[in-house]
Amino acid sequence: MTQQNKLDKNHKQTIKQIYYSMKTIFKSLLAITVLSLVLSSCGNGGSKKGSQGALSSSAAEKVYVAPGEHDEFYAFVSGGFSGQLAVYGLPSGRLFKVIPVF
């Protein structure tokens, strides 16, 4: 057997080893990802504190500004090509005024 044939054979074996090791790594990562998704989606995380869903109003209560009260901040937002300037109250998110700018 010539030196070139030995190198070709060794090269093919090395490529096969790399292929199988990459395949093993991919399968392991896939299994870890699937397992973490299954575990994170199961149960409610052990919390028994009432409803934490969309109907809980704690987030809405934090940003509520009663009528007649002033917002803490105001955002002046450009309308882009429409040529308008909008004024929003923050944190309430109320639209106060749309100012046409020409």
Question: Which of the two residues, 19 and 43, has the higher pLDDT score?
Answer: 19
pLDDT value, residue 38? 83
pLDDT value, residue 69? 86
CA-closest candidate to residue 83, choices 97, 64, 63, 102: 102
Q: What is the pLDDT of the chain when averaged over all its residues?
A: 80
Distance of CA 92 to the CA centre of its chain: 24
Is residue 2 pLDDT above 60, yes or no? yes
Tens of pLDDT, residues 20-51: 888 899 999 999 999 888 887 776 555 555 55
CA-closest candidate to residue 74, choices 62, 86, 59, 64: 86
The token pair at 62 is 């934090």
pLDDT value, residue 4? 63
Residue 71 DSSP SS3: coil
